[in-house]
Structure 1
Amino acid sequence: MKRLKISHILNNKDFVYALSLFVFIGFICISFYELSKAEVTVVQAGEEMTVRTHANTVEDVLNELAIDVGEHDELSHELNDLVNREMKIEHTIAKKVIVSIDGNEQTYYTTSETVEEFLTEQDIELTENDQLSLAAHTEIDDNLVIDIEKAFQVTINDAGEEQQVWTTGGSVKELLAEHDIELDELDRVEPRETASLGKSTDIEITRVEKITDIEEEKQEFSVVKRNDSSLEKGKEEIVSEGEPGVIEKHYEVVLENGKEVSRELVKEEVKEESKEKVVAVGTKVNQPKATTTASANAASDAGTKTETVSRSGSEEKGETIYMKATAYNWDCASCDGRGLTSTGYNLKENPDGVVAVDPSVIPLGTKVWVEGYGYAIARDTGGNIQGNKIDLHMSSKQKAESYGVKTVQVKIVE
């Protein structure tokens, strides 16, 4: 019985020894296995992770870490590079960027950190006049949208003075405001202010102004011829010299870019009245002695004597007078509104061939011929029609207002 116990004890010791040896060898193997691993650092999105691996290639390491490398991603090593100790693998994930240039969109993938780096990477050149929707130092985020408006030149012709300016679009009004170009009320601009700018747009500005131009014009004096019975017929004598008057004519003048394009008479004012020249015309005729022709006719019951006396004389028809002429219409402010003249003649029904006169110069009912008016009859008078003046009736107020003041020949017909 004792022998069995001793043998049993010996067998237990062998087992423990064998087991310890096995564990020791296993520990040595595991330690050697672990020590044989390479230590690799992987950097992704700014985060570092260190792993110990028996992977042979960079691709194997990334697969162990379940890291997918996209087509546009940036990797510090080739996928088939062999792993070595203390290797550092950097993986930068590409981000999607949408670039719109003048409305035309294009999609890019980049690993650049800022907008400026991205534009340089993609060879997208900008001038100082181009407009970029983001600051150059803006960090790139996934699905970032960058708007670029390319500048172009526009010619502005301002009243003949040209300048070329840069713009990225907008309206004509906005461009003019940007360059402190103001338009006055009458100025014109082509194309209109609300029009959109394009690369072929040229802006024409026409500066328009209205001014009043006052011109003085001499008014010829009228010549009045008055019959003088004390002066022999055929002779004339100047009673008083005439003096020209002065009329101020007010014109509305339109200037475009400093050049006159239209002129319209808006008002006339008599600055100095003219003084008529008075000429005495002799009408004295030396009368011949009367002659008597006697005829005696014998009659059966009585005798009668008949005497005929003849004298030489002349009519004053055909006399020409220079007179100051104005015009009026029956529908004037100072008229009675019925259209009747001072002699009761109805101008509404018969507007043509009627003149107003001073009866002391031309008796009412006289038929006259007026230069530029034609034949007429003196059927009216007026408070301002005194002396060597005549007022011509016109068929409309417009014609009367536009007639003005003129010196005309008036010929006495009958």
Structure 2
Amino acid sequence: MKHAAFEKTIKAVTCSLLLLSMAAQTDLTMAFGFGSMDEDKVVTVYDGKNKKVVTTRANSFKKVLSDSDVTLNAYDKYWTSSDDVKNGAVVVVERAKPVTIVANGKARTVYTTQQTVQGVVNEAGFDWKKMMPIEDSMMKVTQGMQIHVVPYTARVVNRTESIPIHYNKWFDASLAPGQMEVVQEGTPGRREVEMEEYVSDGKVIKAEAGDVKVLTHGVPGIAKTGDAEGTMGYVKNMSASAYHPTDGDGFGITATGTRAGHGTVAVDPRVIPLGSTVYIPNYGEAVAADTGGAIIGDRIDLCMETFEECYNFGRQNVEVFVNY
């Protein structure tokens, strides 16, 4: 019995020594980088305009950057697409830029990875409720720029101002791209604008528009342009004559069944489709609602209210603004 117990003890000791030997071998193997159980991972590193795609077994992003020969300076930062290094991960390096902040008559240089002026000011510890940059707060930060931070107070004022004239535009193929000619001036409207002004040392350094109340609506102007995009229609040069509603059969009924009058024009439907709305300078807006036996091609007949108007108009070359 003693012999059997002794043999069991010997086997147990031998097994323990074998396990210790295997563990030691594994530790040495891992220490020297051989036989690692980690899998290869593909990681993309962006450093400004430089992009590197690396295959790594690193378990930290710092090691990934080091293996990619990316050196971080004191104020540089980086962010990653995941907490752990995994296949498909992305690392973005942000390089700190030197920026000079001028405040209270003193200048100091800071290094920052912030992208906007306001971001730099906030990062520098200024209370945005009391201090603000003179520069546009959303301006992109550039290396070596100066940012001037001043104390301010805010106030709200109401201003009355003109509304810029809007021009309805028609495409004129005879004009060059970018060229525009005003055919009829419009009328500006009026509006009341609530402005929030930021004042420093008695001067308004910034102003932002708030609520807007339209007081009077303007009248759109009419213009021709050499750019087709954004136009309401096109311009055609046509030969125009005038007619009275009682001309023809004397009943004053148009080809589309409406009653003729000022604002009704006769056209060749192959040139201007019936039902189209048009504008003719010195005549006004009209509808292409009629036809005529002599109205062929680039001809148009304008309906007048009196025979005298027809006689005075005679025959003229006119520009016809045809809506799409």
User: TM-score under structure 2 normalisation?
Assistant: 0.33
Higher-Rg structure is 1
Greater RCO, 1 or 2 (C-alpha within 8 Å, sep 6+): 2
